[in-house]
């Protein structure tokens, strides 16, 4: 039978994302999840989240929580699944073992599966023998003929066993929604292991049962699963189950065109969240890896993606992961936030990263330099700095001088172009005088600017070249070649810390 060769019919579709909680949620899984989600939402179907934790050794609750929390953070919501029990639950494989057992027993009873007692050494010997005869190594079928009594006896003796599926030799053809017509020869597989025992089914088996019982109509998953597809189809057929329609989405490659992996930097969503990428930027970025819109629009909200998503526009060719693109999207979405929204976002980010602590309603303390600040401080920071920020962690990199007590820099950096050291020292003295005069209550950049403007207009050298005073002022406050303007920094770090830094600069210049 040819699975999925019927005409595309996307009515009443049910799709699923079936992550294994054996690692932190990574970019590739989010993309698969997103495409399933967009498919379900676009065609008005149902999106199921199923936790595939049959691999007991590698699955942990911590990873499961990471997957669930981060999907929620990204705004990808499921209709059925953990925390949303529906008609076909439970949605966690470890809670469905009794169900798999019945189907395993059925296959055993019908002699479509059998116990294999081969030890690892025996299997190795079988493989080597085949290889030496120029054959592709696969299970030899050594145990496929034991009678019931023999099997009972061996099981009673506690011989370690696995359950193998009697693989039919046939050609399986599917019409993959992304990759088109695909053909597989199952005789290459040999009798595969489908369970360690009645209570420990393996992925290829459990997935067939779940997709069937959860009435999954379309399986959209990474093309690393292509070789599993024919195996799942024959298992389904052995159980009289009509297989779903498949869509295998392209691989994500790193910039060097090898499969995206840790070598290319971090791939977990948590790490992008921690670096200060916005969920909407990640969604936009990830959607365009493997799916392309009909026009040349690049910026898409989740709603727009749902609206425009169609299966036909899933790409067969691999997607390339381009971090600059993600930075571009993130900068775009950051710019779109109002300063008030940004203020909240920055606060959350800095709290999370333990740079600030909350001290009361609208009261925060910068841990390292003891500055007491409130929401309007962050609003100002956002107005001043958001333009150049690609991700929130850039605030900590570009504006570290706001969050630290001590700053360090080369003394020469204080010097404006070829100014004389002595002149720079005089300029710093002048700055100390001016800043000392300004009252704390007036420490706003506009006011500070007025005062400095007055000083500059009264002073011929500075009038001719404002850099002679403003450059050393800015460097003394920031320790950096590039930073926010001096008046803004004065406002943000306040009178006390500003004076401290100016005194430091004075010392350095002596
Ligand atoms: N648990 C499998 C995985 O995480 C699911 C694959 C599938 O979608 O069938 O790779
Ligand atoms: Zn065997």
- Each residue of 113-163: pLDDT tens digit? 999 999 999 999 999 999 999 988 999 999 999 999 999 999 999 888 999
Is 374 part of a structural domain of the chain?
yes
Q: What is the dihedral of CA 500, 504, 509, 510, to 10 degrees?
A: 100
Same domain, 231 and 310: yes
Mean pLDDT of 279-308: 96
Instruction: Read off the tokens for 343.
Output: 């203020």
Cα dihedral sign for 222, 226, 230, 231? Answer: negative
Same domain, 260 and 356: no
Is 177 part of a structural domain of the chain?
no
Domain boundary among 372, 405, 438: 405
Same domain, 210 and 331: yes
Domain boundary among 390, 405, 420: 405
Q: Write down the mean pLDDT value for the chain.
A: 95
* Ligand 1 atom at shortest distance from the alpha carbon of 22: 4
* Ligand with minimal distance to 243 CA: 1
* Ligand with minimal distance to 142 CA: 2
Q: What is the pLDDT of residue 266?
A: 83
Distance 62 CA to ligand 2 centre (A): 36
Percentages (nearest 5) of helix, strand, coil residues in the chain: 50, 15, 35
Is 484 part of a structural domain of the chain?
yes
Distance 20 CA to ligand 1 centre (A): 7
Can you give the length of the chain in residues?
Answer: 510
Distance 291 CA to ligand 1 centre (A): 20
* Ligand 1 atom at shortest distance from the alpha carbon of 219: 8
Is 182 part of a structural domain of the chain?
no
Same domain, 216 and 317: yes
Q: Best mutation site among 14, 17, 20, 212 for ligand 1, i.e. most ligand atoms within 8 A of its Cβ?
A: 20
What's phi and psi for 321, nearest 5 deg?
A: -80, 120
Question: What is the Cβ-side half-sphere exposure of residue 121, based on CA atoms within 13 angstroms?
Answer: 0
Mean pLDDT of 350-368: 96
Q: Is the pLDDT of residue 72 over 80?
A: yes
Distance 120 CA to ligand 2 centre (A): 10
CATH code, domain with 465: 1.10.10.350
Distance CA 54, CA 342 (A): 42
- Each residue of 421-478: pLDDT tens digit? 899 999 999 999 999 999 999 999 999 999 999 999 999 999 999 999 999 999 999 9
Q: Is the pLDDT of residue 234 over 70?
A: yes
User: Reduced to 3 states, what is the DSSP secondary structure of residue 370?
Assistant: coil
DSSP tally for the chain: helices H, then strands E:
20, 15
* Ligand 1 atom at shortest distance from the alpha carbon of 232: 9
From residue 406, how far is each of 409, 431, 497 by CA, in Å?
A: 10, 19, 10
Q: What is the pLDDT of residue 2?
A: 45
Q: What is the pLDDT of residue 265?
A: 81
Same domain, 431 and 401: no
Instruction: Read off the tokens for 224.
Output: 């690393």
Distance 125 CA to ligand 2 centre (A): 12
* Residue with token string 């699923």: 16
Q: What is the pLDDT of residue 7?
A: 53
Domain range for 258: 1-86+203-335
User: Residue 259 forms beta bridges with which residues?
Assistant: 253
Same domain, 319 and 369: no
From residue 55, how far is each of 91, 204, 320, 409 by CA, in Å?
A: 15, 12, 30, 53
Same domain, 331 and 212: yes
Distance 64 CA to ligand 1 centre (A): 14
* Ligand with minimal distance to 161 CA: 2
Protein residue with its CA nearest to atom 6 in ligand 1: 18
Q: What is the pLDDT of residue 262?
A: 84
Pocket-forming residues, ligand 1, beta carbon under 6 Å = 18-20, 52, 207, 221, 225
* Lowest mean pLDDT, pick from 73-87, 172-186, 255-269, 422-436: 255-269
Q: Is the pLDDT of residue 3 over 50?
A: no
Same domain, 401 and 422: no
* Ligand with minimal distance to 151 CA: 2
Q: What is the pLDDT of residue 363?
A: 97
Distance 397 CA to ligand 1 centre (A): 38
Q: Best mutation site among 15, 19, 26, 178 for ligand 1, i.e. most ligand atoms within 8 A of its Cβ?
A: 19
* Ligand 1 atom at shortest distance from the alpha carbon of 17: 8
* Ligand 1 atom at shortest distance from the alpha carbon of 221: 8
- Each residue of 55-66: pLDDT tens digit? 999 999 999 999
Q: What is the pLDDT of residue 6?
A: 47
**Cβ contacts of 235 within 8 Å, gap of 6 or more:** 165, 194, 204, 205, 208
Is 92 part of a structural domain of the chain?
no
Distance 123 CA to ligand 2 centre (A): 8
**Cβ contacts of 500 within 8 Å, gap of 6 or more:** none
Query: What is the side-by-side strand order in the sheet with 113-116?
Result: 113-116, 162-165, 193-197, 200-201
Q: Is the pLDDT of residue 1 over 80?
A: no
**What is the pLDDT confidence band of residue 15, given thresholds at 50, 70 and 90?**
very high
Q: What is the pLDDT of residue 307?
A: 96
Is 128 part of a structural domain of the chain?
no
Same domain, 415 and 397: no
From residue 472, how far is each of 12, 79, 432, 454 by CA, in Å?
A: 68, 59, 12, 18
Tell me how many domains the chain contains: 3
* Ligand with minimal distance to 139 CA: 2
Contact 345, 392 (CB under 8 A): yes
CATH code, domain with 63: 3.40.50.620
* Residue with token string 């909680």: 21
Domain boundary among 389, 405, 421: 405
Q: Is the pLDDT of residue 39 over 80?
A: yes
Mean pLDDT of 481-490: 97
* Ligand with minimal distance to 249 CA: 1
Same domain, 363 and 233: no
Same domain, 280 and 417: no
- Each residue of 400-428: pLDDT tens digit? 999 999 999 999 999 999 888 899 999 99
Is 164 part of a structural domain of the chain?
no
Same domain, 386 and 500: no
Cα dihedral sign for 397, 403, 408, 414? Answer: positive
What's phi and psi for 20, nearest 5 deg?
A: -95, 125
Q: What is the dihedral of CA 464, 469, 474, 480, to 10 degrees?
A: 80
Distance 504 CA to ligand 1 centre (A): 59
Q: What is the pLDDT of residue 510?
A: 82
Phi-psi region of 220 (alpha: psi -120 to 50; beta: other; left: phi over 0): beta
* Ligand 1 atom at shortest distance from the alpha carbon of 222: 8
Distance 18 CA to ligand 1 centre (A): 5
Q: Best mutation site among 207, 246, 248 for ligand 1, i.e. most ligand atoms within 8 A of its Cβ?
A: 207
* Residue with token string 């779109």: 336
Mean pLDDT of 331-345: 95
Is 123 part of a structural domain of the chain?
no
- Each residue of 459-473: pLDDT tens digit? 999 999 999 999 999
């Amino acid at each position: 039978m040819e699975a999925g060769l019927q005409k595309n019919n996307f009515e009443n579709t049910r799709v699923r994302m079936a992550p294994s909680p054996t690692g932190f949620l990574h970019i590739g899984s989010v993309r698969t999840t997103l495409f399933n989600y967009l498919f379900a939402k676009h065609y008005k179907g149902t999106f199921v989240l199923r936790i595939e934790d049959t691999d007991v050794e590698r699955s942990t609750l911590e990873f499961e929580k990471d997957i669930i929390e981060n999907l929620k953070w990204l705004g990808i919501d499921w209709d059925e699944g953990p925390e949303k029990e529906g008609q076909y639950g439970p949605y966690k494989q470890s809670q469905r073992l009794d169900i798999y057992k019945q189907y395993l027993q059925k296959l055993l009873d019908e002699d479509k599966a059998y116990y294999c007692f081969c030890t690892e050494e025996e299997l190795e010997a079988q493989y080597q023998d085949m290889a030496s005869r120029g054959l592709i190594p696969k299970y030899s079928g050594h145990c496929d003929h034991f009678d019931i009594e023999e099997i009972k006896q061996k099981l009673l003796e506690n011989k370690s066993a696995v359950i193998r599926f009697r693989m039919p030799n046939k050609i399986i053809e599917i019409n993959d929604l992304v990759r088109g017509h695909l053909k597989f020869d199952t005789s290459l597989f040999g009798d595969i292991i489908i369970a360690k025992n009645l209570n420990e089914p393996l992925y290829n088996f459990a997935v067939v049962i779940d997709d069937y019982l959860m009435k999954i109509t379309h399986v959209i998953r990474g093309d690393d699963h292509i070789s599993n597809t024919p195996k799942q189809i024959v298992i389904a057929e052995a159980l009289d189950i009509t297989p779903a329609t498949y869509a295998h989405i392209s691989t994500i490659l790193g910039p060097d065109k090898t499969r995206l992996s840790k070598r290319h930097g971090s791939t977990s969503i948590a790490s992008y969240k921690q670096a200060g990428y916005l969920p909407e930027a990640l969604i936009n970025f990830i959607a365009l890896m493997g799916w392309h819109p009909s026009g040349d629009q690049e910026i898409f909200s989740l709603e727009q993606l749902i609206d425009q998503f169609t299966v036909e526009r899933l790409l067969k060719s691999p997607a390339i992961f381009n971090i600059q693109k993600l930075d571009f999207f993130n900068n775009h979405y950051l710019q779109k936030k109002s300063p008030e929204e940004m203020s909240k976002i920055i606060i959350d980010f800095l709290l999370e990263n333990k740079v600030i602590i909350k001290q009361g309603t609208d009261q925060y303390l910068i841990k390292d330099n003891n500055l007491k600040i409130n929401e309007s401080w962050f609003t100002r920071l956002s107005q001043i700095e958001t333009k150049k920020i690609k991700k929130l962690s850039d605030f900590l990199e570009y504006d570290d001088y706001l969050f630290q007590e001590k700053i360090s820099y080369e003394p020469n950096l204080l010097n404006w172009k070829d100014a004389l050291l002595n002149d720079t020292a005089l300029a710093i003295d002048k700055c100390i005088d001016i800043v000392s005069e300004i009252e704390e209550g007036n420490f706003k950049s506009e006011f500070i600017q007025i005062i400095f403007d007055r000083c500059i207009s009264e002073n011929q050298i500075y009038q001719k070249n404002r850099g002679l005073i403003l450059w050393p002022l800015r460097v003394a406050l920031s320790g950096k070649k590039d930073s926010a303007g001096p008046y803004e920094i004065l406002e943000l770090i306040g009178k006390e810390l500003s004076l401290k830094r100016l005194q430091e600069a004075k010392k350095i210049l002596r």
